[in-house]
Chain A
Amino acid sequence: MPRIGVFVCHCGTNIAATVDCGGVAEAARGFPGVVHATDFTYLCAEAGQRKIQDAIAEHRLNRVVVASCSPRMHEPTFRKAVAQAGLNPYLMEMANIREHCSWVHADRQVATAKATEIIRMVVAKVARNEPLTAKQVGLTKKLLVIGGGIAGIQAALDVANAGHQVTLVERTPTIGGKMAMLDKTFPTLDCSACILTPRMVELSQHPNIELRTYAEVLSVKGFVGNFEVEILQKARKVNHLTCTGCGTCWQKCPEKNVPSEFDVGMGRRTAIYIPFPQAVPNKPVIDTANCRYVRHLAAKERGEKLMECRVCEKLCPTKSIDWEQKDEIIVDRFGAIIVANGYDTFDHSVYGEYGYGKYPDVITGLQLERLMNASGPTKGEVVRPSDGKHPHSVVFLACVGSRDDKVGRPYCSKICCMYTAKHALMLKEHDPNIQTYVFYIDIRAAGRGYEEFVRRVQEEYGSTYIRGRVSWIYPQDGKLMIKGEDTLLGRPVEVEADLVVLATGITAAKGAVDLMQTIGISYDTYGFINEMHPKLRPVETNTDGVYLAGCASGPKDIPDSVSQASAAAVKVCGLFSQDYLTTDPMTSVVDQMKCVGCFLCEEVCPFRAVERETLRGGKVVARINESVCKGCGLCVAACRGEALNLKGFTDQQLLAQVTALLRA
């Protein structure tokens, strides 16, 4: 006979403000099987847990219902609490009367009635709960890091230094990400390359790290501890085992006019190339879309003639050019995944009022970084893309593609205020005669030394900050006219500019949504990963064993990205510190007496957990491999003979909930 105890939590006033908790407990005493019911201010507190434990002993409870918050919040807490009192932890169920009731209904009478019904349903369920035992599975102590920007690099190094194997997959030919493109970093003005490249080299030489650039994740199967991942290694057409990175090929390649992705279109590169001098690996790839020989081969197939080339092949001292190299798919097993796929900047060509991206002297902040960089396309000389002249007046527009609902980006990109201030300062250091104007809406400089930095830019570096969003940019007499408003004065402002720099906001990286779907983690409407909990579990995703770092979950600056990377690394190390993983015992079971051997269950099971077993007498029936079963219950719903059931969510438990609700 079930002896059920019901505990109703006030959650301070979170529940008690709209639910009469005492009244609810009173009502619960009348529910079938309930022998004890009471209410308490905070059940999750130590005193609350003790109250439950004491009651288990005192009233000889063999089932417990905790009516409080969402089980997604505190199920582990209360399972542990009842276990300490000697009860099987799976004989405890939670009734969610906070998220699903007190927080969404203002009327006290309505909320109290609803809370009572919710508890009645859960009481009916718990009466049918069975003791369950968690199972243990082994794990592969190897980490997959997706993305080779600063976040991915940091996470990979931290986990590798802890002694675990790491594979880092990067889509482009080099690691370094966006940080490698920056000239300097705010507010300390460290040279970005100087602090980043040593880490890149360390990573490439680390004995525990396998680096796969020019590669992408194709598919992810399995679960925490045992992910099976397919990685596409794109053909580089260069044998990286023999190549020494001497540079002859890319210096001599005659195709020199390919817009450089690394220079954001400000510079050119060759068809066989490394993205920038300190690239890691420092070995080239052939961009087949632009390689003359590859194009020659394609033309030949069409029956057309095109010049052959093959200069790189002829000049390579180590004969490393490999035209036969094909894309390759590698399958590997990992115990955990860190997603650090980074970000892209907002495409400002949607703004007609700023010229649809067609004015050459309207550039983005990232493009300016490349112009200011000594190893950039202009060797660090800041010149106008239109005529190569030095600008005298430079106007910055903040919030382009940020805080703009119309273009679908209502959020703040967080870093633009700071990088714009940095640009204004650096321009002045490049050329003291340059005048800078910054049109902003609000200055968001919450970070150590950030506010001071922005003040310095205005006070010491003479940048003119104008509070107001620019409405219109139009070219006139070889210059750009900026129409804004000084909202503090309430007066329209027109500024004549030689160069306009747009602080384009942060968007999810290209292909982010596809990647999230491939991995099976949830993301928001903008393509950023949803954290498991925004406050308390900020580097975990809603899929066990998959973690996140950097801008994958939204705009972040470098310090935040690096902190997150290390945090994710700690989570991985914690996971890898175990030799076995305890997993939910909520798996399917087969009643082999009832099984008719139709194997519909086998057809629907996404995890191939259904196995066949021949009974004595030759009858073939289904058996569930519990270490593979993930407990979705698809097989149970598919089974026609009622031979299958799902532990923890049995037909009996679920139907009892329906009946308890509607028969009352």
Chain B
Amino acid sequence: MSTYAYYPGCSLHGTAKEYDRSARLVCQALGLELREVEDWNCCGASSAHMVSRWLALSLPARNLQLVEKMGLETMTVPCAACYARLKDVSCELKDPEVRDKIGRVLGGQVTGRVTVEPLVGTLTTQEILDKAAGMIKKPLAGLKVATYYGCLLTRPPKVAQFDVPENPQSMDRLLRVLGSEVVEWYFKTECCGASLPVARTDIVLDLSRKLLTAAKKAGAEAIVTACPMCHSNLDSRQGEIRGRYGDDFKMPIFFFTELLGLALGYPARELLIANHLTDALSLLQGRGLA
């Protein structure tokens, strides 16, 4: 059994609880032990780097330090935004001068030897795909999905070092294994507006609407994400988009772990799929998946 340090991040303890729940369940089922980083703190996400570079580096670095203390080598991160920050720091720590300065801010050294990977990477290795294929209880029955990776999983490629920057395939491969049909669309890494929804709702509605329109046009019945921010923007804003533009998408937005969980036989209720703001259960029920 492989053991990973698990960094849920703030969203997975709040608006994206279903991501946390489903991630833990599927990892357990697939024989991956997740050990939550003890006393982890917010990575600073979309705000710290806006005001201070050293804060932006040090907040995530503290978490790497904690993992080093736990004696683990690899940390898996479900949230794409947290992944971007943590991975960025793990790259920056290679520079001894930066490492020293971060050590000063933290009040203790951090080596940066911990490998940071996104959960979607952890769960889409060939080994895991093969394993999952053998464990499927409920194939996704041709569910037509559009995979949406968002900005931060693959970008910038020099830092993220995950998948192909302009046309990533990891989730596509997983979902095909699970029996769904992955539609061809071209907005896999287009931005949804990220952290702007609170301050500039108008922009996020516009960007999210473009994504939803494109997915629908491509024939998708649902969008699959690996980022709580993307999920939140696409899932919770459909009402407002209807209010402003009149488009009623009714497009369910899933975390990839939820669909993986369903295929492995977990009931929708246990995966907290009912938490979504845009109804996802009806679609699943129609396919006998919930």
Contacts and interface: CB of A to CB of B under 8 A. Distances in A.
Task: Judge A-B direct contact (beta carbons within 8 Å).
Answer: yes
Interface of A: 352-353, 356, 474-477
In the complex, which of the residues B164, B165, B166, B167 has the most CB atoms of chain A within 10 Å of its own CB atom? B166
The 3 closest A-B pairs by CB, nearest first: A352-B166, A474-B186, A353-B166
A475 B217 CA distance: 12
Contacts of B186: 474-476
Contacts of A476: 186, 214, 217
Nearest to A475: B186
Interface in B187-220: 187, 214, 217
A356 B187 contact: no
B189 to A, nearest CB: 9
Given A352-B164, A352-B166, 12 more contacts: A352-B165, A352-B167, A353-B166, A356-B166, A356-B167, A474-B186, A474-B187, A475-B186, A476-B186, A476-B214, A476-B217, A477-B217
B207 to A, nearest CB: 13
B213 to A, nearest CB: 10
Contacts of A475: 186
8 contacts: A352-B164, A352-B166, A352-B167, A353-B166, A356-B166, A474-B186, A475-B186, A477-B217
Nearest to A474: B186
- Tell me whether chain B's interface is mostly helix, strand or loop, or mixed: loop
Nearest to A354: B166
A292 to B, nearest CB: 36
Contacts of A353: 166
A474 B186 CA distance: 6
A476 B187 CA distance: 11
Contacts of A352: 164-167
A356 B167 CA distance: 9
Contacts of B214: 476
B168 to A, nearest CB: 10
A476 B165 CA distance: 20
A474 B215 CA distance: 13
A432 B85 CA distance: 53
Nearest to B186: A474
Nearest to B184: A475
A476 B214 CA distance: 9
B167 to A, nearest CB: 6
A353 B164 CA distance: 11
Contacts of B166: 352-353, 356
Nearest to A359: B186
Contacts of B217: 476-477
A352 B187 CA distance: 13
A353 B157 CA distance: 13
Contacts of A477: 217
In the complex, which of the residues A352, A356, A475 has the most CB atoms of chain B within 10 Å of its own CB atom? A352
Interface in B219-256: none
A476 B186 CA distance: 9
Interface in B78-102: none
A352 B164 CA distance: 8
A212 to B, nearest CB: 44
A307 to B, nearest CB: 37
Nearest to B165: A352
Interface string B141-179: 000000000000000000000001111000000000000
In the complex, which of the residues B165, B186, B214 has the most CB atoms of chain A within 10 Å of its own CB atom? B186
Nearest to B154: A352
Nearest to B214: A476
A500 to B, nearest CB: 14
A477 B187 CA distance: 14
B42 to A, nearest CB: 32
A136 B3 CA distance: 78
Contacts of B164: 352
Interface in B44-99: none
Contacts of A356: 166-167
A495 to B, nearest CB: 16
B218 to A, nearest CB: 9
B242 to A, nearest CB: 23
In the complex, which of the residues B165, B167, B214, B217 has the most CB atoms of chain A within 10 Å of its own CB atom? B167
B52 to A, nearest CB: 29
Contacts of A474: 186-187
A144 B44 CA distance: 67
A356 B164 CA distance: 11
A2 B266 CA distance: 99
A352 B149 CA distance: 15
A347 to B, nearest CB: 16
A474 B188 CA distance: 11
A476 B184 CA distance: 11
Nearest to B164: A352
B198 to A, nearest CB: 24
A352 B166 CA distance: 5
Nearest to B187: A474
A577 B223 CA distance: 77
A493 to B, nearest CB: 16
Nearest to B157: A352
Nearest to B189: A352
B209 to A, nearest CB: 15
B191 to A, nearest CB: 12
A474 B187 CA distance: 8
Contacts of B187: 474
Contacts of B165: 352
A231 to B, nearest CB: 43
A406 to B, nearest CB: 10
Nearest to A351: B166
A477 B214 CA distance: 10
A298 to B, nearest CB: 34
A474 B217 CA distance: 13
Nearest to A477: B217
A352 B165 CA distance: 7
